[in-house]
Structure 1
């Protein structure tokens, strides 16, 4: 061992609170340096450069790649990096699958919400046909659609289903009585 130094940390309030919540209180940081024995094998992965004096130096790559120094051989370093990359690939695939599931769920919900509206619009007569209807058969709210539902509680047949859904309170538009439930009306 060439160098050893123990450094006690200075704790702030936030550090003390975090240590209390986690349940671990570090005593300090121990820094040690050791020398390699003569003849020990060392693997370096980086960029070799030739200096003017004719010596070779291993340095970090100029393009910003990673620089490795380890006691194992290059195959050990490679297998460790491949296992780490496999972990990251798996995490990326898991996140992509979760994102796709959320997107599909949102699209399905939007489709389910728009489908009844589309069916209701398809069921509605054109504007020309609505003009042929007698005014006493028209919805009292929008005056353009036929009366389509019976409001139980008071028994009035006064509005179309779209206007019933748009009512801010569940009160009859004619008598202001409470609406218990709604039954569709089929006219021949």
Structure 2
């Protein structure tokens, strides 16, 4: 792999690391801000007092409502029991073993993933104020909710195959292990906290996603203090990932800068070296011409002998010796034009330096 390719790979990797760092930084900021907002919001129960507050003071831009889940019209019935709820999530997953690059790995293929909702509300947990309730709007947009659904059914059915079929599957690199069927529900009567915008609409209390994008709509079975700790823990994890990936990206970019700086100084050193070689050869040629003039000898032949021509350009005489291999094969221009790291064109050995060659 060439040096330029290495630098490009390092640059791309550094850029990707910084992009990942930025993404996790945004997640960190979101979680820490959500924890701060949730920690300071007021908590209400569906009651006459809340209804009166909304009537007199208008909507609550960001508040928490605590109560129990209650369906408004009808409830969803579990397909595998008598459980009733307002959200039902069904999944059918095929488990397989696949041969990838010579190794067997477990993979999952989702064959079915459906989520059903029915209108529901947050109702008072106590018997008083039973007529007051807060209808939940757009529950699908709420954070935390799907992660906290109760498992009402879970079954794994192993795949039954003959030995011949198993052998054929292994030959083709894919073996089915079985089907996993699961059902999760938000059950009626579950204690829940909703965090969002609380307002009145046609005399009915409702909770919906906040108007401000930096505020998170939440439906959770956690207590408010637990929710704050959860977001603080998430923010700490995202912060660590953001810092680590930023340091990795910075380290990769620093390696590129160091490599480019090293190449720059090496090229500068080479340029100064060949300038010195050219001056030395020019001085030697001048002295040789002066000596020929004094002795009346023939002038210097501008055409190099065939056996003394540079092996690269085949036009200039050989002017430098490569150390440490000792081969005299190049003119000054071709020696300087060799890419870094310089290698002898005769034996391919690394060249530590070039020295001028003086021909008689």
Over 3 Å counting, the alpha-carbon distance change for 1:60 and 1:154 in structure 2 is closer
Give 2:185's aligned residue. 32
Cα drift, residue 160 of structure 1: 3.6
Cα drift, residue 81 of structure 1: 0.8
Over 3 Å counting, the alpha-carbon distance change for 1:187 and 1:169 in structure 2 is closer
* Separation in 1, partners of 2:322, 2:344: 16
List alignment gaps of at least 5 residues for structure 2: 1-74, 81-89, 99-103, 108-176, 289-303
Select which of 123, 130, 134 maps to 2:285: 134
* Separation in 2, partners of 1:22, 1:9: 16
- Does 1:4 pair with 2:78? yes
* Separation in 2, partners of 1:8, 1:48: 33
Q: What SS class does the counterpart of residue 100 from structure 1 fall into?
A: helix
Give 2:105's aligned residue. 21
Cα drift, residue 125 of structure 1: 4.5
- Does 1:107 pair with 2:191? no
- Does 1:77 pair with 2:227? yes
Contact 2:195 2:219 in 1 (8 A): yes
Over 3 Å counting, the alpha-carbon distance change for 1:96 and 1:145 in structure 2 is farther
Using the size of structure 2 for normalisation, the TM-score is 0.37
Q: Which has the higher relative contact order, 1 or 2, with Cα contacts under 8 A spaced 6 or more apart?
A: 2
Over 3 Å counting, the alpha-carbon distance change for 1:30 and 1:155 in structure 2 is closer
Contact 2:209 2:217 in 1 (8 A): yes
Moved more, 71-80 or 150-159: 150-159
Over 3 Å counting, the alpha-carbon distance change for 1:70 and 1:119 in structure 2 is same
* Separation in 2, partners of 1:156, 1:77: 77
* Separation in 1, partners of 2:91, 2:250: 48
Select which of 268, 287, 306 maps to 1:118: 268
Contact 1:3 1:32 in 2 (8 A): no
Q: What SS class does the counterpart of residue 170 from structure 1 fall into?
A: coil
* Separation in 2, partners of 1:126, 1:93: 50
Q: What are the equivalent positions in structure 2 for 1:53-68 lying under 5 Å apart?
A: 53=203, 55-64=204-213, 65-68=215-218
Q: State the number of aligned residues.
A: 173
Contact 1:45 1:68 in 2 (8 A): yes
Contact 1:49 1:56 in 2 (8 A): yes
Over 3 Å counting, the alpha-carbon distance change for 1:22 and 1:61 in structure 2 is same
